[in-house]
Structure 1
């Protein structure tokens, strides 16, 4: 009798477990997804924060709500102003890699090149899916160092993302409408990796489509040389417009001057209209025009993240150029420079600062 009772309990327990197994499997399938967003910048940077915000918008639009069905981890490497030497960037990357190992996210998002090099390229062909946003360097150049991509159309490994297309030609077409007599412009960069990558991207875009303007490229290696160059250009009547692309400069005392400080000084001391790389730079005083829409670029990256969370592999998703630019203008700066922006251009603008 005792053996029969034990057998009865065993059978009932087995049947009970079987009846609940679909619900257990369902509960397991509904575990929150996890993404880890790593920014090269500090947390509120003019270039980094809009991309971060865009990623969150896109994944939310795809149905992933933070705290409900997705967990979001973030880390700001602050590699543009504070941790901006190769050794410090490497150390920041090691910190992030340790955190990723602990969290084991479904997707890692890296914003800008320092995070891409220090984090993404260390995880090539791992089980972590990776999406980059705002990459300035050419994918093929990175691929020469570490094989992470078969082609832009089908990367084939575990990384995809969005390249920071500058829409450089379009920016100067708009400037030509504002200033019909424009014949010469100067592009001013720094000698950082990002500065060199921006120049290379400009040449790439000019090779695909030209504009009837003579371009002169200048590179500043220090804060002092940059200021001297801006003052020299400002007094040159042959130069109609400048395209400031320097985002990080150190002075003779080793003090770092970041993008916002560079822009503010330029606006205060230059008498030439400025076209911004990032449309938000117009808010800091630049004249404006057609600039990269960093929020939209983040949304593009976030859309790729959502596809991966829904079962796609990063290696099967094509690498994209940033699709959208934004028209923005600072009317106070226009008035200061004596420039009249045509009403049809203003009506088509995304934002106007007064």
Structure 2
């Protein structure tokens, strides 16, 4: 009887052990790599949006998600090196923040899913061949804005503006595209653009000073060199009493009078949704590129005072956020 009980226990214990193992499998971990051309408030908000979207959908870093980030520190050479390192580590998805980093990724791998974001024109940047689903490993979210609404905002700040200054980096595709488009749109309204190229971040102040006495206001986009040195640009605008207008809300907090543009945090959330779709099994080539869908107007009243502008009640009422510093 004793031997029977022992044998019975041994037989029962095998399926019990097997059942315990199958009920507690090792948690599958996804791997998402993120790279940005440089770190500044707008691009940092994009990254935070991606990370928050992942977290809110159950992807927890250190548990079922491995999250890796690398900044190229404003260097295209660094961006290329990071792209190679990421491709070698074979993540499930790579997120490219801004055009140079996204271009480096696309040039490096044709297999690993890539989600670009904070890219104005992915077609001109040769990330995708069209705005249709690419059937490649690439998709993402653009931060393209209506230039008509940007010009309308300029005229609300400076109704008699005719000459628009444009400080930009000639090596950044986004900026050169917008320069041409803005030139065409301004001509339709009897206005013109005066460009001031600044190849390096250290050239921003000099480029801005070259516009003194020539322009009625300065307009800036999300040019990464310019945004990285925005306080220096704002200092020149304050000293020269030239109204400074931007296309990303974060710049209004750093010295622009007004900024009508994408919420870069929400742009990141939107890109994060695409990342999740890919992690859940969709192919990036089946997902058409999108355009950011949340814009906001931010006004900086103190910057207006420093740059000699009186803001109308109409534009103050239309602002989603008013900064007073």
What TM-score do the two structures reach when normalised by structure 2? 0.81
Preserved contact between residue 238 and residue 307 of structure 2 (Cα < 8 Å): no
Residues of 2 paired with 1:150 and 1:279: CA distance? 30
Equivalent residue for 1:186?
165
Decide whether aligned partners of structure 1 residues 38 and 247 sit closer, same or farther in structure 2, where only a CA change above 3 A counts: closer
Equivalent residue for 2:65?
70
Deviations 1:228-284 (A, max 9, x none): 553343323xx32211356438xxxxxxx9423543443343321111132111111
Pick from 17, 37, 41: which aligns with 1:40? 37
Give 5+ residue unaligned stretches, structure 1: 1-7, 144-148, 250-256
SS in 1 for 2:116: strand
Deviations 1:150-169 (A, max 9, x none): 53221111111112214432
Structure 1 position 123 matched with structure 2 position 100: no
Pick from 249, 269, 273: which aligns with 2:239? 269
Equivalent residue for 1:340?
310
Residues of 1 paired with 2:207 and 2:19: CA distance? 77
Structure 1 position 201 matched with structure 2 position 162: no
Decide whether aligned partners of structure 1 residues 90 and 232 sit closer, same or farther in structure 2, where only a CA change above 3 A counts: closer
Pick from 312, 317, 324: which aligns with 2:287? 317
Q: CA deviation at 1:46?
A: 2.2
SS in 2 for 1:105: coil
Structure 1 position 91 matched with structure 2 position 56: no
Equivalent residue for 2:94?
108
Q: CA deviation at 1:312?
A: 1.5
Residues of 2 paired with 1:140 and 1:216: CA distance? 21
Decide whether aligned partners of structure 1 residues 23 and 151 sit closer, same or farther in structure 2, where only a CA change above 3 A counts: farther
Preserved contact between residue 103 and residue 125 of structure 2 (Cα < 8 Å): no
Residues of 2 paired with 1:233 and 1:209: CA distance? 18
Q: CA deviation at 1:213?
A: 5.3
Equivalence map 1:1-354=2 (5 Å) = 23=23, 27=25, 30-42=27-39, 45-78=40-73, 80=74, 84=75, 86-94=76-84, 96-97=85-86, 100-102=87-89, 104-124=90-110, 126=111, 128-136=112-120, 138-142=122-126, 149=128, 151-192=130-171, 194=172, 196-201=173-178, 203-204=180-181, 212=189, 214-221=191-198, 227-236=205-214, 239-245=215-221, 247-248=224-225, 258-354=228-324
SS in 1 for 2:114: strand
Residues of 1 paired with 2:124 and 2:218: CA distance? 29
Residues of 1 paired with 2:204 and 2:60: CA distance? 45
Residues of 2 paired with 1:285 and 1:138: CA distance? 29
Residues of 2 paired with 1:216 and 1:209: CA distance? 7
Preserved contact between residue 327 and residue 348 of structure 1 (Cα < 8 Å): yes
Q: CA deviation at 1:170?
A: 1.3
Q: CA deviation at 1:353?
A: 1.4
What is the aligned residue count?
316
State which drifts further: 32-41 or 163-172.
Answer: 163-172
Residues of 2 paired with 1:75 and 1:227: CA distance? 28
Deviations 1:188-227 (A, max 9, x none): 22222x1x43231354578799973513141424578754
Deviations 1:165-192 (A, max 9, x none): 1443212212323333233322222222
Q: CA deviation at 1:301?
A: 0.8
RMSD of aligned residue pairs (Cα, Å): 3.4
Q: CA deviation at 1:345?
A: 2.4
Give 5+ residue unaligned stretches, structure 2: 1-7
